[in-house]
Amino acid sequence: MPRWTHYRFRSVWDFDVPPALVYARLEDPGGYPEWWPQVRRVEAVDERSGTALIRSVLPYGIHVTVTGLLRDPRRGVLEAALRGDIEGWVRWTVRPRGAGRPGARAVYEQEAEVRAPLLRRFALAGRPLFRLNHALMMRAGHRALEARLAAGREAV
C-alpha cells in the first residue's frame, strides 16, 4: 500500500564556481533566506539546530526544526534531520562537476514524512501539487544561488 504522506526528492544543481564556494554557501543555513526566496525565515536554536519557515507556491508554510547530523567539507557532505510539519532527513553532496568540466555539482536528497495535519488530510489529492511545489522551490533555489555565486565571483 502506498504511503501518500512519504516523499523522496533528488535535485542536481550545476555551478561554474569551485565546489568549496558552493559548499560554503550551503553550510550556512542562517544565510538561506538572503538568497533562497522560499526559505522565509531561519532562526538558530543552538550550534547544531535551528527552526525554519519554508513556503513555495502553495499558500502554506512548512515549519521545521533542522538539526545538523554531519558536516564534512573534505567529502562535501552536509546532512540534517528534519522535525515538525515534515520529518526525515536532508543531504547535500557537493563535488567537482567532473568529466573535464570545471565547476561544482550539488546533489540534494531528501526523504520526509508529512506530519502537518492539513497536509496529511490532502495527501492523496494534493500529492502532484506538493511535488510540483517542491520542484518549483528547488528550481528557484538553484537559480538564486547561481546568481549569488556569480555576483560574488565578479566582486573578487
Judge whether 60 lies within some domain.
yes
* CATH code, domain with 85: 3.30.530.20
Helices (H), 47-122: 117-121
| Range(s) of the domain holding residue 48 | 6-155
Question: What is the C-alpha separation between 12 and 107, in angstroms, rounded?
Answer: 5
Instruction: Name the residue with cell 547544531.
Output: 48
Judge whether 1 lies within some domain.
no
Is the pLDDT at 153 greater than 70? The verdict is: no
How many domains are there within the chain? Answer: 1
Q: What pTM was computed for the model?
A: 0.92
Judge whether 56 lies within some domain.
yes
Judge whether 63 lies within some domain.
yes
**68-118 pLDDT tens trace:** 999 999 999 999 999 999 999 999 999 999 888 899 999 999 999 999 999
